[in-house]
Amino acid sequence: MEATSPASPVKKPSPLLNRQIPIVTRSVKGKFRTFKTAVMVIAYSVYFLLPWMPWERSNAASQALMFDLESRRFFIFNLVVYPQDIFWLAMLLFIAAALLFFTTGLIGRAWCGYFCFQTLWTDLFIMIERLIQGERPARLRLIKQPWNAEKILKLGGSHFLMILVSFWTGVTFAAYFTYAPDFVHNLFTGHAAEAGYITVVVLTITTYVAAGLSREHICTLACPYARFQGVMYEPDTLAVAYDVRRGEGTAGRIAPGKGLRTREERQAQGHGDCIDCGFCVQVCPTGIDIRDGLQYQCISCGLCIDACNNIMDSVGSPRGLIRYDSEQNIASPVPHKPRLEWKRPKVLGYAASLVIASIILFYNIGTRSDTEANVQQVRQPLFVMLSDGSVRNRYQVNIINKTEHEQRYYLKVQGIPAESLDLGNIPEIRVRAGKTLSLNAKVDLTSEQAKMTKQFSFVVTPTIAEAEPVVVKTNFHSH
Amino acid sequence: MSQDKAATTTTPKTTGHNWDGIEEYTNPLPTWWIWGFYITFIFTVVYWLFYPAWPIGDKFTKGIPGLHTITYKATTVDGKEVEKTTHWNMRSKFMHEMNEMEGVQKQWFDKVAAMSFADVSKDAELMQFVNSAGKTLFSDNCAPCHQAGGQGKIAFSPNLTDDHWQFGGTYDEIQQTINHGRKGFMPAFKEVLNEQQITQLANYVLSLSGEPHDAAFATAGAQLFKSEDAGCYYCHGENAKGNTQMGSANLTDKIWLWADVPGKATQESKLAEVKKVISGGLDRGVMPAWGGRLKPEQIKLLTVYVHDSLGGGK
């Protein structure tokens, strides 16, 4: 504190001390709202209905999409994913990241504005509020009025609906991990697994708290993406932007009044097109003023564009005072029509990594084998000298049957005499559907053979016709 | 609504004290935080009712008697099965979980116990259980001498992964060995033979395994081996191939247990190793009996493990 003003009050308190104002948004019509609603309908249809889609399966629950943790298999339509395929998950995550960066570099936070589940559920919950409590003025009035029957009924009703939606969100989530019809039945009769109840309760609470109570605070305070989006934005990136020069003119924005009604009158006095109606602020789900410029709170949902366009239409000004445009273009002396500027190293780099990763993933899935085998050499001891001087190495051979039925296999060796392989007393190798069988394999080579052999291969062949053998190379140690 | 926000940004309250212009905020803790704090009080009381909590001298409170107990089965020192019910504590919980796990494993052990050795070794899926359960049993009981992988240690314990068996390598013989233990013995020959004779015998023993040796000494050694002077053939047999009935070593193969011949580089040092065994004899080849210490089904499973998984049993 400065010595000259010993008792001066704290002038600028930290923003953390601000009381948070609940955001009550006004609804709006327009193309971005329509797009958001369309995305919402599709996303919810997929999310809520997919676990109920039947799919014929011989040895597992007939559910099209099921992440069966108990049997360690993910059923994705006709694709069965095993833990060994964890590489696919890594590729999928990489593709998701590349897609996110690519889109952000090109058109900003499209994910946040239209697709993120936080946005979708918040949007739905705001719709529920509007349905029960009415439009923004009615809701504001309701907040201010004392607690009476109407307020209790309306607020309670909308929160009850939100909790109901949250609950069904949790139930649906859990249904992806088990056979949905049985699960839902067991859930209500009290026979579902403990993990099922925990999942439903946790998902219900988190959904309700995140989308019903916290809302934009999740985006502004909790979500890391909002904070690192800045590194992906470039001057050419399209973002929701307010055309400051057009809106403010030289004398600033002003509400229409006497002598300021037409565009010509306003321009003559140096005022811009913005009539300071505040609709862009009222519709914003994160409660910001887009006219202050690009902010980390902006989730790029485009609702302020819809709101502003409607106002511009009604006052007779051209649309696009708030629009998707690049920082560069808005600042240029003669802005051109906003367009996608994709010929940039960053965007092309993201696109290239996206394409390469997708090709690798799909190639890998497309060429997957129904049989997988791996070999672990027994290392204690690495090799054994036998009584006649020959050398024994031992291996654990794991055969994974990825088909949907029991399968027999031949196990042979390649590069060394066939009779040097000893599988003990196992008469034939049978592996159940989706299971792994590990076998003790001994390989004995005479001391001469052992000296010449550094490597050989195990060959696993399913007994069915036209089956591709799986060859696994391994080492042979003799000293 | 940034305008609204700006309007309601207030100056934080102070305690009203002012020391040379330095004031103190009275920002209360967040309500949710305070409630979290109160909940820990409630938690403490609930915890205290259920679990051991307060130390009192060398004793401690054990929670409300009968409210939160654990029952487990245990075997007493004199081998009696007893069921105990105590207040909750970590050891009882561990015992209880061990009981549960035994129940889970029981079906597999029962299966092994009911089947013949040969049938167990033919069942690839059951062999997976033999591999994993056998590895644990082996690590807990056998590994201190035979080493973690059963590879043994020269001059200490036999290698179980090779194809030579001191006391026989059939299932029944291995089971017998584990159940009743074994004791290998060889008398010290320095009492009855002179230095030269021992050298001759040692050269003969080396020659049997194709190791470098002195041919003249070896020929003399061969005579001595079969003579009544040394009497080696009593135990090791006329052809020196040993006898699994008494555990005498096969001297003609490449496997060494007591004399570290493979580990020595020169002919002299190899010879010295063998001479050491002949002159000093052996009185340490003791395997303890596991019958009574391990359950019969555990010994049966270990037998299959040693025979098939470690791989020596042929």
Specify the amino acid at residue A471. V
CB contact under 8 A, A380 and B149: yes
pLDDT of residue B207: 94
Share of chain A above pLDDT 90, in %: 71
Q: How many CB atoms lie within 10 A of CB A301?
A: 25
Class of the B117-181+288-309 domain? mainly alpha
- Tell me, yes or no, whether A187 and A42 share the same domain: yes
Q: Which residues on B lie below 8 Å from A424 (Cβ)?
A: 121, 127, 308, 311
CB contact under 8 A, B11 and A9: yes
What is the domain-level CATH number for residue A436?
Answer: 2.60.40.10
Phi, psi torsion values for A101, nearest 5 degrees: -65, -40
Confidence of residue A73 (pLDDT cuts 50, 70, 90): confident
Q: Which of B305, B146, B311, B147 is nearest to A443 (CA)?
A: B311
Give the start-to-end residue ranges of the domains of chain B.
2-50, 69-114, 117-181+288-309, 184-287
Question: What's the gap in Å between the CA of B2 and the closest CA on chain A?
Answer: 6
Q: CB-based burial of residue A373 (10 Å sphere; 0-12 exposed, 13-18 middle, 19+ buried)?
A: buried
CB contact under 8 A, B20 and A427: no
Res A89 pLDDT > 50: yes
Confidence of residue A3 (pLDDT cuts 50, 70, 90): very low
Share of chain A above pLDDT 70, in %: 96
pLDDT of residue A20: 62
pLDDT of residue B27: 81
pLDDT of residue A113: 94
pTM tops 0.90 = no
Q: Determine contact, residues A96/A345, Cβ cutoff 8 Å.
A: no
- By CA distance, what is B152's nearest residue in A? A381
Q: How far apart are CA A182 and CA B66, in angstroms?
A: 38
Mean pLDDT of A302-331: 94
Identity of the residue in B8, B21, B162 whose CB atom sits nearest the CB atom of A386: B162
Q: How far apart are CA A268 and CA A291, in angstroms?
A: 22
- Tell me, yes or no, whether A262 and A173 share the same domain: no
By mean pLDDT, which of A17-21, A424-428, B108-112, B240-244 is the weakest? Answer: A17-21
Per-residue tens of pLDDT for chain B, all 314 residues: 444 444 455 677 788 888 888 888 888 888 999 999 999 999 999 999 899 988 999 999 888 888 889 999 988 888 788 999 999 999 999 999 999 999 999 999 999 999 999 999 999 999 999 999 999 999 999 999 999 999 999 989 999 999 889 899 999 999 999 999 999 899 999 989 999 999 999 999 999 998 999 999 999 999 999 999 889 999 999 999 999 888 899 999 989 999 999 889 999 999 999 999 999 998 888 999 999 899 999 999 999 999 999 876 55
CB contact under 8 A, B21 and A429: no
pLDDT of residue B8: 54
Res A12 pLDDT > 80: no
pLDDT tens-digit series, residues A341-390: 889 999 999 999 999 999 999 999 998 888 999 999 999 889 998 988 89
pLDDT of residue A159: 96
Q: Decide if the complex's ipTM is over 0.85.
A: no
pLDDT higher for A468 or A50?
A: A50
- Tell me, yes or no, whether A220 and A138 share the same domain: yes
Total number of domains constituting chain A: 3
- By CA distance, what is B25's nearest residue in A? A10
**Domain limit, last residue, from A231, A256, A281:** A231
Question: DSSP character for A229?
Answer: G
For residue B157, what are the β-bridge partners? B153
Question: DSSP character for A434?
Answer: T
CB contact under 8 A, B163 and A442: no
Q: Which 3 state secondary structure label does DSSP give A398?
A: strand
State the average pLDDT for chain A. 90
Identity of the residue in B121, B128, B162 whose CB atom sits nearest the CB atom of A424: B121
Question: What's the gap in Å between the CA of A392 and the closest CA on chain B?
Answer: 8
Confidence of residue A8 (pLDDT cuts 50, 70, 90): very low
Identity of the residue in B210, B262, B308 whose CB atom sits nearest the CB atom of A440: B308
- Tell me, yes or no, whether A38 and A167 share the same domain: yes
- Tell me, yes or no, whether A269 and A288 share the same domain: yes
CB contact under 8 A, B9 and A13: yes
Q: Which residues on A lie below 8 Å from B162 (Cβ)?
A: 384-387, 392
Specify the amino acid at residue A352. A
Q: Which of A384, A438, A460 to mutate to test the interface with B (most CBs of B within 10 A)?
A: A384
pLDDT tens-digit series, residues A225-282: 888 877 888 899 999 999 999 999 998 898 988 888 888 889 889 999 999 999 999 9
Window 282-301 of A, Cβ < 8 Å to B: 282, 287-289, 292
Q: Flag whether A348 is in a domain.
A: no
Residue with tokens 């290392």: A379
For residue B59, what are the β-bridge partners? B56
CB contact under 8 A, A17 and B27: yes
The answer to whether the B117-181+288-309 and B184-287 domains have the same CATH topology is: yes
Identity of the residue in A6, A385, A437 whose CB atom sits nearest the CB atom of B254: A385
Range of the domain at A151: 19-52+108-231
Res A11 pLDDT > 50: no
Q: Which of A242, A281, A386 to mutate to test the interface with B (most CBs of B within 10 A)?
A: A386
**Domain limit, last residue, from A208, A231, A254:** A231
- Tell me, yes or no, whether A249 and A396 share the same domain: no
pLDDT of residue A133: 95
Window 110-139 of B, Cβ < 8 Å to A: 118, 121-122, 124-125, 127-128, 131
| A426 CB within 8 Å of a chain B CB | yes
pLDDT tens-digit series, residues A99-158: 999 999 999 999 999 999 999 999 999 999 999 999 999 999 999 999 999 999 999 999
- Which CATH architecture does the domain made up of B184-287 adopt? Orthogonal Bundle (1.10)
pLDDT of residue A468: 85
Residues 6+ apart with CB under 8 A from B195: none
pLDDT of residue A78: 87
Q: Which residues on A lie below 8 Å from B163 (Cβ)?
A: 386-387, 392
Specify the amino acid at residue A473. K
Identity of the residue in A9, A389, A429 whose CB atom sits nearest the CB atom of B254: A389
Q: Flag whether A71 is in a domain.
A: no
pLDDT tens-digit series, residues A167-222: 999 999 999 999 999 999 999 999 999 999 999 999 999 999 999 998 998 998 89
| B5 CB within 8 Å of a chain A CB | yes
